Amino acid sequence: MNELYSTRNNNLIDPYVHVWGWEIPVYLFLGGLVAGMMIISGYFIFNGRYKEEKCSCNFLPIISIIALSLGMFALFLDIEYKVHVWRFYTTFQITSPMSWGSWILIIVYPALAAMFLINPNNMLKEKIPYIKKISEFFSKHPYLVKNIGIGNMILGGMLGIYTGILLSSLVARPLWNSSILGMLFLVSGLSSAAAFVHMIAKDRYERELLAKADNSFLVIELFIFLLFFIGLFTATQVHIDAANLMLSGSYAPVFWVFVIGLGIVIPLFIQSLAVNHKIQHTPVAPILVILGGLLLRFVIVEAGQYSKWITTTLAK
Amino acid sequence: MNSLSRRRFLKISSATVVTAATLSGSWSSIVRSAEKITDKSEKGIRKVATYCDICFWKCGAIAYVKDGKLWKVKGNPLDPLSEGRLCPRGTGGVGAHFDRDRLKSPLIRKSHRGEEKWIEVTWNEALDYIAEKMIKIKSNYGPEAVALFSHGIGGNFFKHTLKAYGSPNISAPSFAQCRGPRDVGFRLTFGEDVSSPERTDIRNARCIVLIGSHLGENMHNTQVQEFAEAIEKDASIIVVDPRYSIAASKAKYYLPIKPGTDLALILAWMNIIINEELYDKEFVDKYGFGFEQFAAEVQQYTPEWAYPETTIEPDVIRATAREMALHKPATLIHPGRHVTWYGDDAQRSRAIAMLNALMGNWGRKGGFYYPQSMDVVAYPYPEYPKSEKGKVDNPDNKYPFAHETITTGIREATLSGKPYPIKGWLVYATNLLQALPNEEETIKAIQNLDLMVVVDVIPSEIAGWADVVLPESIYLERHDDLNVEWFRDPFIAIRQPVVDTPDDQKPNWWMAKKLAEKLGLGHYYPWKDIDEYLEYRITNSGYDYNELKIKGIIQGEKQPIYFDEGVPVEFHTPTGKVEFYSLQLAQAGFDPIPKYKKPKEGPHGYFRLLYGRAPVHSFSRTQSNPVLNDMMNENEIWVNTNIAERYGLENGKYVRLKNQDGVVSNRIKIRVTERIRTDCVYMVHGFGHRSKALRSAYLKGASDAQLITKYEVDPLMGGTAMNVNFVTFEMEV
Amino acid sequence: MARYAMVIDTKKCVGCMDCVVACKTENNVPESFNRDWINFESIGKFPELHLEIRSERCNHCENPPCVHCCPTGASHFSKLGGIILVHHDLCTGCKACLASCPYDARFINPEGYADKCTFCTHRVEKGMNPACVSVCPTHCMYFGDIEDQQNQVSKLLASRKYITLIPEAGTKPHVYYLI
Ligand SMILES: Nc1nc2c(c(=O)[nH]1)N[C@H]1C(S)=C(S)[C@@H](COP(=O)(O)OP(=O)(O)OC[C@H]3O[C@@H](n4cnc5c(=O)[nH]c(N)nc54)[C@H](O)[C@@H]3O)O[C@H]1N2
Ligand SMILES: Nc1nc2c(c(=O)[nH]1)N[C@H]1C(S)=C(S)[C@@H](COP(=O)(O)OP(=O)(O)OC[C@H]3O[C@@H](n4cnc5c(=O)[nH]c(N)nc54)[C@H](O)[C@@H]3O)O[C@H]1N2
Ligand code: SF4
Ligand code: SF4
Ligand code: SF4
Ligand code: SF4
Ligand code: SF4
Ligand SMILES: [Mo]
């Protein structure tokens, strides 16, 4: 057996890498949630539902802006050289997902704002005539509105995928070396968003629709998980070890119980009953889904940092 | 230094180094000289040549000061010892200057001894106090009643003061706790010491046998550099060690011997070499004495006999014996250095000497060369007063072959008052509580004293027991005596201040001189300051003092170091020959030819405690050095995987160790490893400091010294063997 | 164009850490952080053991994930022989590069920026060896331009068996270990 003794003892790196704490998972989760909400509200705008007073697409944008800002604040907290944070925006690094991300986030804000201004609530319209003007302008240009809807869906997709690619581009962590991670985070974001909207939607139709949508997202998510692990298991030993960290290793309990069990399977079951009118809609399922989404980010970030290439060069 | 002398400096240095390179024939020194030249001084950077003092090897060094702040220390390319490269401790030496725990001003004890409660005093008060006590002791008991423990070149002036005062009782742990038995064993055989730096021609050896010598962890610079050179030249290496040491990992043959049974192995080797007639007949016939008796006596020591003792397979013993013979005379069986292991150490060392003799490597390339030195005049002092009582450490020559003073002998006398009482200890640069076995005896002895003075740079354990503590400036802040080394290439080296002391510390020469003056012995210090002293010695020896100050080293003419280069063949033994049979041993009632005796086993469930070196620390003196502390801030207890399993010891967790006398250590980190036998455990010496004032090292790791309550005394020379203690594990809860 | 590389002879290396100490003093690396370190890797059961000792540091990779993932361009290829460096004033301390390095060679300097081995650019510029190479008491470290066939490092790589660390990661390291 191999015995490795290292004299290195660098903070955040040894005995195992722990450069990211709670901030990054929270940031990734909120990013994914917002991505989901952008796609959902973008869709409603696209198919014209925004004309309905009660359409969630009229208040989702403002919630998204808040959620996104909270996420970016978490990211800011994690950064070690805070006075240099503006450096993200003095350059664009084409190979760096993080650079992509920071610019996407910059575009996301106006997109959300545009969505919001399409049909802001009356009180605001009364208070600020300027806003009234804009929304009237929009109502005169339905074609433009459609495109804003589409734009938000696309941006949402990019944002959701980015939250996953950010990790999968970090070569050193076998658990993250999977292009599927982007898809996984996107779908997980969608399911969280759907659950969230399902929970707060005023409109009965939307609630039904999103409950159904959420169920399908959850099913897809399960499927993507399957692909994710198959991918790792068909790669090198270090990738297999990484996968086992989550499936049978130290992170397995959280993963199976909270992410899969309480985060996907149980709510899927409850919501299936609900959509088939066997039981009433309750916030239980959506809350579980949302918590599951959050914990997914935690597990992936933690276990990912723990997973490593083995420096063993001696023949076993 | 002015630009002219600098240009001269560079010219000379590069020139000399290149010749040195062609002499040693190694390309690397040519590269080094090139580097030296490109390493041109930038603005804001000042370089001072001096020599290192983190251990006793005394490598030539060049200290860099950047914008008035001490920056780094590198090897002096002119220095034959370091050839421009220091060991990690030397490189980290700068840390000694920045050590936050340093002693800052003289201290006088406030409460009872060992409580570490002090009053800060002026130098005058401190030295007056000491002088007064010393004068009283002298009048009551005679000057011999004050002993000096001193280790390292920094002690020279205190030795001078004490001799002037009239005491012959001056000692260092480097004899009875270190290399004494080795030097005795070699004296008895070849009539000469191995000395320090060892005269081993590792560089040119074709086969190197290391018996415990853990080169690579033991970082005596030249030894390690030459060891690496030998590896590069594909020398065949044989390592004998219960632990898979760094050196073992370089070996062609690794012999995982049972601790304490080396003599059996050596005897078996000699049995093979003699019976298969593999020894250097010409050398033995020409220079040997008593070979026949010896040859007859070793008949009994067959590899089959040695196997159950050593656990080394007979064919391995045979194979390694033949391997040695194959490369003779360029086969070097390293004499070791810290050989105070089991109590039969002088005899084991003698056996090693005899094995070397069989290789005919004495005075031959790849064996033991004849070190050369430059003659530098001593400073003319008045005669020292003669002591009629004589030394106290070795009453009626109990240890007939002790040719140096025995530290533990002085301790013994201090305890018993016999042959005459010892009432004062001056302790210079030696941490007796970590260096001598059985600290309880040391503390009891200290309690019998009227005066206990410690000169140190940090609050060491021993300083904690002093009446007066004198804070010394570190080696980069002071002058010391010249290092006129006995080595392969003769040279003189100077130590000179690089930076100022941060506080009220003073150099040893200043203290020793002032103390002498206060003792009314001022006339023993005719010189005004050490600069004058050094200049006198150098100029009156016909060398250029300025050149020395600039270059740090003056190299002498290369002289013959092998017989075939013209070194006269003389052996200063009674028979004038290499003694395979020792009449003096027989007369003194000892075995004229070494006899093996089984090491005593420990209690059941206990493991033999072995100890050694870490490359980044020196004894107990560097643990608070911020740079070296950063490399290793605690030691670990090496435990074999199987033992760890049996005792439920987890890698990285902590345990305490309890020895056979119930002494329990500080908590120490467990290192579960395959790299050690199952009948012993291992730790690095010098940790587990128990001096509270040494904040950065206080209770970090465990102290082997604390667990070494038992020791075997070598009957030939009084060395204290310390590998005779056993420990078991006490779980940390 | 030059391509600097380090070649370390594991046969001669004794793991003494002089290279680590030298880096510390030369570059005053902050306390309790190290730009280089020693890995002792042993295989087998006592006493049939083999020990490989490696002085490790940033590998100045040909294909460095730390540079690719850096959002600000702080991590970059320097003009000096492909040495990978960090512009302190561009670094946000986002730690992506720390997470992306398969060798965990980086750390966050207490000042906030990503820190690591620089191959002692400040010395190499002056034609000197890196500090660690210049002190190594066993002379087991070599530094030079592998593009230049006459260079010591090129000759060693041509004549001796060697490995690089985690080649599977595809980073193309430029610290080579003679075995
Ligand atoms: N248990 C155990 N005992 C041993 C050994 C072992 O391995 N284990 N090794 C033995 C061997 S081989 C030897 S050589 C001896 C070594 O024994 P020592 O020479 O006593 O070595 P240290 O323990 O380092 O103690 C040196 C003391 O000098 C102080 N000092 C350092 N620099 C200076 C200076 O510039 N000026 C002054 N005034 N003081 C200074 C240090 O702070 C420290 O207190 O120990 C022997 N004893
Ligand atoms: N870095 C560093 N280097 C040093 C020093 C230092 O303090 N630090 N001190 C210097 C000094 S003064 C000295 S004296 C030397 C001491 O260093 P050495 O003389 O080289 O070695 P020892 O201290 O005698 O023994 C330590 C080694 O012997 C092995 N050993 C223990 N018991 C036995 C046994 O019964 N048989 C055999 N064959 N091997 C055994 C241990 O496993 C360990 O590998 O180091 C010198 N070099
Ligand atoms: S061997 Fe190391 S510590 Fe000892 S003098 Fe030389 S450089 Fe200094
Ligand atoms: S200094 Fe040289 S020998 Fe020592 S650890 Fe570093 S590379 Fe190895
Ligand atoms: S070793 Fe790590 S830090 Fe250095 S270049 Fe390669 S990836 Fe970047
Ligand atoms: S920490 Fe600095 S160097 Fe590393 S990726 Fe972030 S910005 Fe670039
Ligand atoms: S090259 Fe320079 S920076 Fe890199 S490890 Fe060596 S000394 Fe440190
Ligand atoms: Mo020693």
Distance B626 CA to ligand 3 centre (A): 17
- CA separation for the pair B589, B573 (Å, rounded): 18
Is the pLDDT score of B9 beyond 90? no
pLDDT, position A132: 87
B484 touches chain A (CB under 8 A): no
DSSP string, B270-298: HHHHHHTT-S-HHHHHHHEESHHHHHHHG
DSSP string, A35-63: HHHHHHHHHHHHTTGGGSTT-GGGTHHHH
In the structure, what pLDDT confidence band is assigned to residue B41 with cuts at 50, 70 and 90?
A: low
Q: pLDDT tens-digit profile of B626-648?
A: 999 999 999 999 999 999 999 99
pTM of the predicted structure, to 2 decimals: 0.94
B373 touches chain A (CB under 8 A): no
pLDDT, position A312: 58
pLDDT, position A127: 87
* Strand blocks (E) in B685-725: 712-713, 720-721
Structure tokens at B572: 């200063």
Choose among B121, B135, B100, B102: nearest CA to B467.
Answer: B121
Distance from A99 to chain C by nearest Cα, in Å?
4
In the structure, what pLDDT confidence band is assigned to residue A311 with cuts at 50, 70 and 90?
A: low
Distance from B416 to chain C by nearest Cα, in Å?
44
Contact A28, A159 (CB under 8 A): no
From A107-121, A151-165, B304-318, the region with the lowest mean pLDDT = A107-121
Is the pLDDT score of B13 beyond 90? no
* Strand blocks (E) in chain C: 4-9, 37-45, 48-56, 75-77, 84-86, 107-108, 114-115, 141-145, 162-163, 175-178
| 8 Å CB contact of C41 and A2 | yes
Distance C9 CA to ligand 3 centre (A): 23
Q: What is the mean pLDDT of residues B498-509?
A: 97
pLDDT, position C145: 96
Distance B337 CA to ligand 1 centre (A): 15
Identify the nearest ligand to the CA of A309 by its number: 5
Contact A123, A62 (CB under 8 A): no
Pocket of ligand 1 contains residue B133 by CB under 6 Å: no
- CA separation for the pair B547, B551 (Å, rounded): 6
Q: pLDDT tens-digit profile of B202-253?
A: 999 999 999 999 999 999 999 999 999 999 999 999 999 999 999 999 999 9
Q: What is the mean pLDDT of residues B283-294?
A: 97
Task: State the average pLDDT for chain B.
Answer: 94
Q: pLDDT tens-digit profile of B135-194?
A: 999 999 999 999 999 999 999 999 999 999 999 999 999 999 999 999 999 999 999 999
Is the pLDDT score of B24 beyond 50? no
Is the pLDDT score of B19 beyond 70? no
Is the pLDDT score of A316 beyond 50? no
In the structure, what pLDDT confidence band is assigned to residue A1 with cuts at 50, 70 and 90?
A: low
Q: pLDDT tens-digit profile of B700-731?
A: 999 999 999 999 999 999 999 999 999 999 99
| 8 Å CB contact of A7 and B632 | yes
- Tell me the H-state helices in B46-197: 88-91, 94-98, 123-141, 156-165, 173-174, 180-190
**DSSP one-letter code for B557:** P
Is the pLDDT score of B343 beyond 50? yes
Contact A162, A101 (CB under 8 A): yes
In the structure, what pLDDT confidence band is assigned to residue B14 with cuts at 50, 70 and 90?
A: very low
Alpha carbon of B198 to those of A256, B182, B324, B349, C32: distances in Å?
65, 11, 20, 14, 36
| 8 Å CB contact of A98 and C94 | yes
- CA separation for the pair B391, B402 (Å, rounded): 12
pLDDT, position A310: 79
Pocket of ligand 2 contains residue B682 by CB under 6 Å: yes
Residues in chain C with CB shorter than 8 Å from the CB of A97 are 69
Q: What is the mean pLDDT of residues B608-614?
A: 98
pLDDT, position B638: 98
pLDDT, position B34: 37
Q: What is the mean pLDDT of residues A253-276?
A: 94
Distance B54 CA to ligand 1 centre (A): 10
Distance C73 CA to ligand 5 centre (A): 14
- Among chain A, residues having any CB pair with chain B shorter than 8 Å are 1, 3, 5, 7
- CA separation for the pair A154, B550 (Å, rounded): 74
Q: pLDDT tens-digit profile of A124-154?
A: 888 888 888 888 898 889 899 999 999 999 9
C45 touches chain B (CB under 8 A): yes
| 8 Å CB contact of B673 and A7 | no
Q: What is the mean pLDDT of residues B461-470?
A: 97
Residues in chain A with CB shorter than 8 Å from the CB of B615 are none
In the structure, what pLDDT confidence band is assigned to residue B549 with cuts at 50, 70 and 90?
A: very high
Structure tokens at B521: 């012995």
Is the pLDDT score of A315 beyond 80? no
| 8 Å CB contact of B224 and C12 | no
Q: What is the mean pLDDT of residues C57-65?
A: 97
In the structure, what pLDDT confidence band is assigned to residue C43 with cuts at 50, 70 and 90?
A: very high
| 8 Å CB contact of B631 and C20 | yes
Choose among B671, B662, B659, B661: nearest CA to B701.
Answer: B671
Pocket of ligand 5 contains residue C64 by CB under 6 Å: yes
From A81-90, A204-213, B322-331, the region with the lowest mean pLDDT = A204-213
| 8 Å CB contact of C95 and A19 | yes
pLDDT, position A48: 86
Give the CA-trace dihedral at B594, B600, B601, B603, to 10 degrees: -170
Apex B430 CA angle, B428 and B432, nearest 5 = 120
Pocket of ligand 5 contains residue C81 by CB under 6 Å: no
Residue A226, class by beta-carbon neighbours within 10 Å (0-12 exposed, 13-18 middle, 19+ buried)? exposed
Distance from C123 to chain A by nearest Cα, in Å?
24
Contact C93, C111 (CB under 8 A): no
B292 touches chain C (CB under 8 A): no
Pick B216's closest partner by Cβ from C16, C25, C42.
Answer: C16
ipTM of the complex: 0.93
B632 touches chain A (CB under 8 A): yes
Mutation site, C31, C41, C87, interface A, largest A CB count within 10 A: C41
pLDDT, position A124: 81
Pick C65's closest partner by Cβ from A101, A171, A311.
Answer: A171
Contact B208, B230 (CB under 8 A): yes
From A276-285, B361-370, B488-497, the region with the lowest mean pLDDT = A276-285
